[in-house]
Structure 1
């Protein structure tokens, strides 16, 4: 199984799961199959969950497509067909599900089961990032920062690192702080650098705490003169 894919199925994040034993109206539509798959997965009935997700996926439900792909990649079904997993993940990504778009991009970034292609990864990261997916914003920013999959562009890197920082990613908060401190892709701004170091420090980053204290002392010293 690709070790970098999402650790949790998307279904476990949904609030619309149908409790075990709940009767569903017949005939079930694709969304109902997907929700029933969530309930089956939650109670450990993995084969049943996979069957229900496949019914939902074949009915066009993008969440079911994604969850089926993840189960196949994680070898939680009797078939464990990675080719089928790739197809369902691609379909979920094409249907616009940001988590699927991001994970599909990861396949190409790492070259796991496919030929490595940073350009393809970039396109899928871009789509997911535009929908606000924080992990995709981080990956997209890093591609721009190092020039992998896209031309090196510090301004675009800063834009997406800041988006991820605003969404609460501590790594992005540290990086955008450094970019403000050094003037990479942003006008140099010590106050904003200190602000973002503080945000990262508040999430437990000890290096960010040191940087915040250093810049705070520098700003205080400048204010006195």
Structure 2
């Protein structure tokens, strides 16, 4: 009986290498595992196309999978699995944008590995015209991370240093997201400070290893530039960071080309606005499947009033699973005389389901203002608003949820939570928002006083008095 790695290697040597690499990183560096998952999916699409003498008409993975689908070279289940693997690979590149914790990322990587294995077993007879060999799945282990650390520290292996730094950066970004989210949950300043200290420690360690690998690896050079730009280890060194990013872009690093294109699009410390340079760089990165470049290229065309090209590139980014682009596509589809309301709503809902905060707020508000909203929809709206408040500290969301809880729009009244949210909104709100908050504040006080006047039970009275303390 062979192992799962041997099975995939018999299916395709090249795919077996990606599968083995992805599996080895699952427990310790799940972001890197998901990078290999995406690479595997790309190579599988090419393998299927070559078998059927199909020439792809796009470098974009979504387009290629859809081309396989249109030619009916794979069944619907296999196509869906490939799209799922493509989306999971995107999440691995930007876990913080999906509000993923390290544990959730590991779980995602494990599921992706098993989906790959099931897909290979399904396609094995198609490719080799023989039954699938009997195999067994070997459990995940945590040896890869230890080996990387050993090679990075003891053998001065520059690629290992880069991978260790990428793992530390991913952990830092996720920890930063969680630290930001806990400001509404923790009771002591010391707990928040501890979380922030851990974030800084992880960023500083990532910056150190990027700096070690940068002279030898162009990808590390780009990440070193980013670490200087954002001050991972010390105060920002923006000019030096931007110059290193430009150097990495010249060396062909796609992420660097995308970021340099953005610099030219909006202007930066070193680079002045140059739309043609921005377009060239973003086009280059977009064709290499950098999702943020696709999205920014769509913005660039929109600014030039080229609606067709803007829609095309935003659609590609949205279809690649990038929630920010899904949100912007939803807004674009809602505009103009040819507005597509149904498509706009579907993309807005998709972006919200993937954690895009503006989309979550938009969908939640729509639900609350719908008199015919079902109980399940109201539950979803409340969850969305809580997440927007938790991760974005959004004052509008605080106001919306406060009003909903005070008025019974969520099929219950909770004046304590309503008052607390209004207090937080007043603390964070700007001058315009304060004008909205003030009458709500007075109205809620009057509501509490009127209920107290009705001689409620001791338990209810205690809750009402607690709510009133938030509004003092």
TM-score higher than 0.5:
yes
Residues 112 and 20 (structure 1 numbering): CA distance in 2 closer, same or farther, change over 3 Å? farther
Structure 2's unaligned 5+ residue stretches are: 1-224, 230-240, 453-460, 466-472
Match of 1:31 among 240, 248, 255: 255
TM-score when scaled to structure 1? 0.76
Match of 2:435 among 191, 199, 206: 206
Aligned position for 1:155: 379
Residues 188 and 59 (structure 1 numbering): CA distance in 2 closer, same or farther, change over 3 Å? same
State the distance in 1 between where 2:259 and 2:400 align. Answer: 39
Are the aligned partners of 2:398 and 2:425 in contact in 1 as well (CA < 8 Å)?
yes
Are the aligned partners of 1:20 and 1:39 in contact in 2 as well (CA < 8 Å)?
no
Aligned position for 1:56: 285
Greater helix share, structure number: 2
Structure 1's unaligned 5+ residue stretches are: 1-14
Matched, 1:179 2:407: no
Task: Count matched residues.
Answer: 204
Q: CA deviation at 1:183?
A: 1.3
Residues 147 and 183 (structure 1 numbering): CA distance in 2 closer, same or farther, change over 3 Å? closer
**Which has the larger Rg?**
2
Match of 1:91 among 295, 300, 316: 316
Match of 2:362 among 139, 157, 167: 139
Are the aligned partners of 1:134 and 1:169 in contact in 2 as well (CA < 8 Å)?
no
CA RMSD, Structure 1 to Structure 2 (Å):
3.1
State the distance in 2 between where 1:210 and 1:147 align. Answer: 23
Q: Deviations over 1:101-140 (max 9, x none)?
A: 00111123x24374422x3222212222233222111111
Q: Give the match's secondary structure for 1:92.
A: helix
Further displaced range: 162-171 or 208-217: 208-217
Aligned position for 2:134: none
